[in-house]
Amino acid sequence: MSSVQPAETNTMRKYQLFIDGQWVDAESGKTFTTPNPSTGETLAEVAEADKADIDKAVAAARRALEGKWSKISARDRGRMLYKLSQLIEQHATELAQLETQDNGKPIRESLFVDLPQVAENFEYFAGWATKIEGETIPVPGDMFNYTLREPVGVCGQIIPWNFPLLMAAWKLAPALAAGNTIVLKPAEQTPTTAMELGKLIQEAGFPDGVVNILPGYGETAGAALASHPGIDKIAFTGSTEVGKLIARAAADNLTKVSLELGGKAPNIVFADADIEQAVNGAMMGIFFNQGQVCCAGSRLFVEERVKDQFLSSLKEKAEKIKVGDPLDKATLMGPQVSCEQLDRIKSYVGYARDEGATVLSGGGSPQLDEGFKNGYFFQPTIFSDVSNSMRVAQEEIFGPVVSVITFKDEDDLLKQANDTIYGLSAGIWTRDIVRAHRFAKEIHAGVVWINTYNMFNAASPFGGYKQSGYGREMGKHALEMYTQVKSVWVDLSGKPIGWFGK
Ligand code: NAI
Ligand code: MG
């Protein structure tokens, strides 16, 4: 029997908080609802965590850290993570459907991109559990010095709504592999799949209190977590604005912080590129997940010489994108996650016009069937004649909206590409390998894609330069954020201690 509630139930889904292995109501008794963004109808009613619930969960995570979890071998931690990855694979269809219903992303993305990567992350970090090792250090004299790599402790993890399950996986998997315990807060827009994941975490055999999942609002539950003195580390993915609030709140307790924040990635097309490939890459860069991607290629730099050819192909292809029912396998773009996000995107169409950019394609709501007319849909949109100083080139829009900027030569380009507060990712399209690698070195970004875009793997680190944040998720680098190093000294001489002992 499936532990995950199937997607097509007619009864309203209800979720409680997951604290200390129990499903409980919020102390306040409050709940909130989450809509299906393709219809605007309520998808689920969810218990609303607040400070009192966060306190309970942090206490449970501390007890688990110091109790049962600390006695479990690395091998068994790895086995639980591996079991979890298998359970996710078994339930991938239901989870993908629910992710699509809660977030609006097309089923072809949730089923073929999000879910496989969720499973991959747990599987990858399952392997790491037994490979987290200390070192011996060649210190002088009759001394033995070694290091222990220990868990950081109780980790608070605050998750955004754009890849709800995948962002939870990026944070949970390395933290669990390293032996930490967790209080996780999913985004209020998309709490449902994290709660289903809680059921699978229980089924995989993790002891009570190792993972606690508390949906709630950012200003209440999120802020309570970030400022909690009982938290040893806080990991956050979301807006740069909230990232700064979290860093400030954490500073009072000197809680360790990692932040994965916004971006305004340059995606750069040189005239010598394979233009059709670059057009496809530009679309993948900005229209994937309705543009709600921190590393979206939202500043599209195109070399002057190929601008006309490039833009006419981009426009033609963008206008053929099938926007609509996200549960339809043929759909390439679903709705934006929320009414707020849709309004925010619309306001940028106004800014673009005010500042003299041209709306080359899209810029409004698509015509859709009756059933979807209350959904938060927006057309694939291209702004041309953009200069890098305009708001649409400097601010993260987080929608299917690309700003096209033309350039003449490489020097001019690099200055503009780096002229942003962000530094998460960058793309380059060229057949000149020397230029490609020179660019990869000179661009200020944590990830660079050459003749490709949006490539991810659990083994490869991801994170930002500049105001895109700090810390690296995935790969062995993620383990550094979830472990701390202890240096141990042992006297091997057996002689009296010098100095005062003489
Ligand atoms: P947000 O940064 O407010 O939300 C992300 C998470 O932070 C959610 O779980 C939220 O509940 C929590 N949060 C909000 N305020 C908090 C606080 N004071 N203390 C602790 N946690 C808090 O993002 P929002 O408002 O939903 O979206 C606004 C913009 O943020 C988007 O348009 C986009 O530009 C950016 N964003 C970037 C993401 C990324 O992947 N880097 C993901 C989501 C949003
Ligand atoms: Mg917010």
Q: Assess if residue 446 is contained within a domain.
A: yes
pLDDT at 7: 60
In a mutational test of the pocket of ligand 1, which residue from 34, 242, 342 has the highest number of ligand atoms less than 8 Å from its CB?
242
Query: For residues 406 and 499, what is the distance between their CA atoms, to the nearest angstrom?
Result: 70
Determine the average pLDDT of the residues in 196-214: 98
Question: Counting every residue, how long is the chain?
Answer: 502
Specify whether 257 is located in the same domain as 332. Answer: no
Could you identify the atom of ligand 1 that is nearest to the CA of residue 399?
32
Give 421-470 pLDDT, tens digit per residue.
999 999 999 999 999 999 999 999 999 999 999 999 999 999 999 999 99
Query: Which of 32, 46, 105, 158 is the pocket-test mutation for ligand 1 (most atoms within 8 Å of CB)?
Result: 158
Q: How confident is the model at residue 11 (pLDDT cuts 50, 70, 90)?
A: confident
Residue 457 included in any domain: no
- Ligand 1 within 6 A of CB of 48: no
- Shared domain check, 113 and 74: yes
Residue 1 has pLDDT above 60, yes or no: no
CATH at residue 349: 3.40.309.10
Are 192 and 301 in the same domain?
A: no
Determine, yes or no, domain membership for 22: yes
Query: H helices within 288-429, ranges in order?
Result: 307-319, 339-354, 391-394, 410-418
Q: How many angstroms does the Cα of residue 218 sit away from the middle of ligand 2?
A: 7
In a domain, 494, yes or no: no
Residues 184 and 293 in one domain: no
The closest residue, in CA terms, to atom 38 on ligand 1 is 238
Sign of CA pseudo-dihedral 90, 103, 32, 20: positive
In this prediction, residue 500 carries a pLDDT of: 82
Mean pLDDT within 321-334: 98
Q: What is the mean pLDDT of the chain?
A: 96
Q: How far, in Å, from the CA of 185 to the mean position of ligand 1?
A: 12
**Number of helical (H) and strand (E) elements in the chain, helices listed first:** 17, 23
223 CB within 6 A, ligand 1: yes
* Residues 275 and 310 sit within 8 Å (Cβ to Cβ): yes
Q: What is the pLDDT, as a whole number, of residue 308?
A: 98
Q: Are residues 250 and 141 in the same domain?
A: yes
Same domain, 256 and 270: no
What are the residues whose beta carbons fall under 8 Å from the beta carbon of 244, sequence distance 6 or more?
Answer: none
482/414 same-domain check: no
In a domain, 455, yes or no: no
What confidence tens digit (pLDDT) does each residue in 109-131 have? 999 999 999 999 999 999 999 99
Judge if 243 and 283 occupy the same domain.
Answer: no
Q: Are residues 63 and 192 in the same domain?
A: yes
In this predicted structure, what is the pLDDT of residue 499? 77
Residues 443, 474, single domain; the answer is: no
Arithmetic mean of pLDDT, 237-256:
98
Structure-token match 């090792």, residue found:
133
Say if ligand 1 is within 6 A of residue 222 CB. Answer: yes
Q: Is residue 108 part of a domain?
A: yes
Asked if residue 128 is part of any domain, the answer here is yes
SS3 category, 4:
coil
250 lines ligand 1 (CB under 6 A): no
For residue 2, name the pLDDT band (cuts at 50, 70, 90).
very low
Q: Are residues 248 and 396 in the same domain?
A: no
What is the extent of the structural domain holding 90?
13-261+468-486
Sheet holding 381-384, edge to edge: 358-361, 381-384, 401-407, 299-303, 266-269, 425-429, 447-450
Position 502 confidence tier, pLDDT thresholds 50, 70, 90 = low
Res 223: pLDDT? 98
- Residues 251, 388, single domain; the answer is no
Over the stretch 78-112, which tens digit does the pLDDT of each residue have? 999 999 999 999 999 999 999 999 999 999 999 99
Could you say which of 403, 424, 450 is where a domain stops?
450
CATH number at residue 27: 3.40.605.10
DSSP state of 24: E
Nearest C-alpha neighbor of 442 from the set 465, 467, 462: 465
Q: Is residue 294 flagged as an active site residue?
A: yes
Tokens 């072809």 belong to 108
Give Cβ neighbours of residue 302 (< 8 Å, ≥ 6 apart): 269, 310, 311, 404, 405, 406, 407
Q: How many domains does the chain have?
A: 2
- Strands of 13-15's sheet, edge to edge? 13-15, 42-47, 31-35
Q: Does residue 500 lie within any of the structural domains?
A: no
- 242 CB within 6 A, ligand 1: yes
